[in-house]
Structure 1
Amino acid sequence: MGLQSAFRARFLDVLASIYIYNEHRGYTSLDRVLEAVRARCADNPAFIAEVEKHRADEEKHYRMFKRWFELQGRMPLKVDRTCGHIDHFIESVFGCTIDELDTDAIIADGDEFEKLCRVIMITEQRGMEQVEVLLKNPHIRSDKAMKRIFEVVERDEPDHYRPYERWLQANGRRPKPRWRELWTDYWIHKSLMLAKLPAVFINRRNARLTSWPDEDPQAYAI
């Protein structure tokens, strides 16, 4: 394998491994969000349905990346929450991990629910921008299956931030991100692109998953 081919293969391997982590983290975390939405917005079935679709799309994306790896005949690289955009964002805004998020407190406090909606909105907008960049990448475009995956993600992404934006607007809440939130999003994105992803790329001793996270909740455990 030539140097360029080896680089391309490693790039796709690392990128897909980070995406499969984030997509799995996304749809499992949205189960927690749905608890809050169903409790706080019981009189808004349209909003609940939109969040349910968001959750279903995230799982669909996870399964597309999973199938890509299955066709490659290997498992994804074992990354952790240091590569998770939503993990860092939740920790920065709420001061705890996603798993520690107090759903009952968010339901009871309108300001906390507003923050949660805005964090999801900003994260999904960032994801949409990143997919647009990736679809121009020659390594992505050279792999028909990977290109198709990102085309599906691109098509789905607008439905993932707009429901939260509309809810904030309709309920007199602030849809426009606060400067601290924008700075947090920017810093997380840059640290992932300039530090975390390259670190995974050059670490040839990085282990691979031994089980799929949808089948084994401890798959990503250290």
Structure 2
Amino acid sequence: MTATADWVEAALGHRPRDPARFDRALTHSSRATASYERLEFLGDRVLGLVMAEWLYETFPDEPEGNLSKRFNALVTGAVCAQVARDLGVVPHLRLGKQARDDGASDSDNVLGDVMEALLGAVYQEAGLDVARTLVRRLWADRVATDTRAPQHPKSALQEWAAANRRAVPAYAIVDRSGPGHAPRFTVKAVVGPDEASAQGTSKQEAETAAAAALLAMLEAKAAPKKRRR
């Protein structure tokens, strides 16, 4: 447990009083019954509160809709997973053999949940102020980079369809593969006669990717062709 405590202190800036709590935050259910799931539930709410408060302060002139777009883009599982990778979480994951063989150590679902579990563990031991400081450090570049509120691909596709008098976008799961801890979804997005498919580690992620792919295709088709000289 000393190794875990040393890594947590170096990566998160908090010396664990109870290293077992952080071992649990790094433990997948394939390894032990005492997994990260309860801490992930708590950490998800901590991240949500801290991020909402941060965006409210940082963009005082933006309406609720733009703040929601920013929020939704910053707390996705994929973003949490990338934060976890940047922190060096992967070598410290505690996985069962089958889960490791199935690639769970590179799963956005697993890494995103573990990142939230670590936030939950920090909150439990050190309180909201320390958790807030940690989130603001780890997400600082992502918040500062977006000067304009990002438009979610599904919302953008729906707006395009409405503006062009097309049918409301529809989504359908085409395929689901992979083990329970590392699923792969293939989703088809449809607007009238046009469609595009994409994959993701969750239904929502696949829908978002499919919407982005279909919107890019529709905009390319609608763009005026350059005249030949």
What is the TM-score when the length of structure 1 is the normalising length?
Answer: 0.28
**Comparing both chains, which one has the higher relative contact order based on Cα–Cα distances under 8 Å and sequence gaps of 6 or more?**
1
What is the TM-score when the length of structure 2 is the normalising length?
Answer: 0.27
Give 1 or 2: higher helix fraction: 1
Query: Which protein is bigger by CA-based radius of gyration?
Result: 2
